[in-house]
Chain A
């Protein structure tokens, strides 16, 4: 029986954003990653091109995050040293990029100086050969010092720098331009602010082809539905021709899921919910698998088992 034509024609293509620079391109990376480029919704290969598959970046921080033991143990002793942790992510967990957060730069933790942070970046660039995503500690004042130092230490490496918000974007745009990096445009689970940040970046002279969008990620069960729908709406708008929404999208899964009780409290307290050793990585994997359907192109992930499951899921989705 004949069935109707079920393909849709999308007007626009999602921007292609490459992160990392090889020797020929002025950096030292052996591998680069390219996000976006799709001309249809996630995985609908019957009606459009999917030139680049979603990428997993491994979560690394300069201090041990406030995480449950099941996650810390799964990562191993390397979690105590950001460079070793990054190396293990690349060599053992098989991630294609490193997401580095300087949580230790916060006054509430180690109050690490911008110089010290820059040294860590230098060491990491020497040790791993994948592209880097660099963040400060999340405190605007301190990050205004930390980010320029880290950015400068990695100049020419075409890193992805996090993050430009409505309030701090000028600093971040300036360093990305000066040191030739790509930029993360961040919005607080609000599609209009997401668009607004992109407008501000454009007005500040940045090409939107240098931008990856982040709608503050929510853990599964804790506002996942809001973020899922914003990612989906942004992706549809981008494909329908809204150039301001046509950026690849990032989700910080590892940074969010491990703080919720489903991923951090064991069955001695959550009776009947199953061993945390299994439940924690599943919480991360299901959250990631869900966001992939809504239009996530870059996933930051932490647990080696969740990373492994999602690597194979991505291959089975294509």
Chain B
């Protein structure tokens, strides 16, 4: 929440001493409100006023960073409850649990499997971003933490409730800035102390939101700053309701004690349930979900829903306008064109793939509009299609001069045949799902 000039002015010395370079405190306050000057530019400001104002001008949900360098994972500083109100900023992170029951060898092999997991989907790389290692049981906590720090290329979460073990683990790898998960009413003081002294982030869990808010305040007083709100429910509905209430408390009510990102330890009875619970939580405000499974058939749908829900709804989704070669086409393969609106392109490309017919797809830059909207908005014309095909060198790729055009744009046939070397224009189907039947019967 941005502060107004008036709110800032009230906390300034109001002496108009001009040391800031402005004639009056009010003029300076306006500059700070506009984000042009920092409070520190006033040498006379009191430390009380400083902390008051910087607290109030901080975003309603804190940004927290786990890990360092390339593997750092950031979450928080979300601004809306619904993606259509602006967008969701930081995609929910998937954390894979390394259970305490695993031997060092088994733990290493799971860590390596997690490192290797990644999916290339619609132009993006999808992968789990965190590794959550349980620090419990009889093994040497520091040694286990070091093993994970050494092998894993993910941000690290240390999971446990024994303060002495967690301290040993955190000390051993504090340069990796791992997240401590989690403090509760029984150990908050000890955990907050570890977080404050090692400067690592800390997740706090409570029986209800009231207790959680209290524990957060305690942790803050003890000097822990980078905090997460932790949840662990058997019922996905309870998670959805808690996460929703926390998000409202932070953003609508600016309630500072709950103004932190969230982390959810998924409690499921099997991999299928874990998958659906994770997917739902990711859509509904979880910043991180901790899961057990590394099955690709489970991870891919979760990562895909994260990819979908965290897409910026205000930016038209486009793909590069170029010639796409699907199913390994040759000189005799059919040629079609479509728009650069990614939803259109991926539907068309998906159906062409499914048809197994080798095909060229020429993508025309329609500024992110679907074919019909592009036509209505004059973003696609016969000249533009012909010019695009020339730029992409389509004619050199095939021996024939047949062009399949979208069924929604039949009016382009005559014009394209007139003005280009593409003398046989074929009107294709109106919807993508008719493409396989169409292509196989060509």
Interface residues of A (CB under 8 A from B): 1-4, 6, 8, 41-46, 66, 108, 218, 220-226, 228-229, 232-233, 236, 259-262, 264-265, 272-275, 278-279, 281-283, 285-287, 289-290, 292-293, 305, 309-310, 312-313, 316-318
Give the size of the chain B interface in residues (CB under 8 angstroms): 57
Inter-subunit contact A279/B275 (CB<8 Å): no
Given that A229-B313, A289-B280, A312-B273 are contacting pairs, would A274 and B297 also be in contact in the complex, using a CB cutoff of 8 Å? yes
Q: What's the Cα separation between A305 and B258 when bound, in Å? A: 38
Which B residues fall within an 8 A CB radius of A?
Answer: 82-84, 119, 121-122, 209-210, 213-214, 217, 235-237, 240-241, 244-245, 248-249, 253, 255, 257-258, 272-273, 275-277, 279-280, 283-284, 295-298, 300-302, 304-305, 307-309, 311, 313, 343, 346-347, 350-351, 353-354, 433, 436-437
Distance in angstroms between the alpha carbons of A225 and B217 in the assembled complex: 37
Contact of A264 with B279 in the complex, beta carbons under 8 Å: no
Contact A220 B301 (CB under 8 A): yes
A108 closest partner in B (C-beta):
B437
Task: State in angstroms the CA–CA spacing of A218 and B317 once bound together.
Answer: 15
Could you list 5 examples of A-B contacts with CB < 8 Å? A2-B210, A3-B209, A226-B343, A228-B283, A273-B296
- Across-interface contacts of A305 in B (CB, < 8 A): 272
Q: A44-B244, A260-B350 are in contact. Are A1 and B275 (CB under 8 A)?
A: no
CB closest residue in chain A, given B313: A229
* Residue of A with least CB distance to B437: A108
Query: Quick one: given A1-B210, A282-B297, A282-B298, are A290 and B283 in contact (CB under 8 Å)?
Result: yes
Smallest beta-carbon distance A196→chain B, Å: 16
Q: How far is the CA of A127 from the CA of B137 in the complex (A)?
A: 58
A283–B241 touching, CB < 8 Å: no
Q: How far, in angstroms, from A225 to B308 measured CA to CA in the complex? A: 5
Q: Can you name the residue of chain A whose Cβ is closest to the Cβ of B84?
A: A229
Let me know if A290 and B305 touch, CB within 8 A.
Answer: yes
When chains A and B are docked, how far (Å) is the Cα of A312 from the Cα of B234?
Answer: 13
Out of A1, A236, A278, A317, name the residue touching B240 (CB < 8 Å). A317
| CA gap between A239 and B240 in the complex, in Å | 19
Contact assessment for B301 and A283 in the assembled complex, using a CB-CB cutoff below 8 Å: yes
Q: In the bound complex, how far is the Cα of B295 from the Cα of A189, in angstroms? A: 33
How close is A288's CB to chain B, nearest CB, in angstroms? 8
Q: Are B305 and A285 in contact (CB under 8 A)?
A: no
Residues of B within 8 A of A309 (CB): 272-273, 276
Query: In the bound complex, do residue A225 and residue B300 qualify as a contact, i.e. CB atoms below 8 Å apart?
Result: no
Q: Is the CB of A290 within 8 A of B300?
A: no
Q: Are B248 and A6 in contact (CB under 8 A)?
A: yes
On chain B, the residues within 8 Å of A293 by CB distance are 240, 280, 283-284
CA distance A4 to B240 in the complex (A): 18
CA distance A263 to B58 in the complex (A): 44
Within the complex, what minimum Cβ distance (angstroms) separates A207 from chain B?
29
B309 in contact with A289 (CB, 8 Å): no
**What separation, in Å, do the CA atoms of A225 and B347 have in the docked complex?**
14
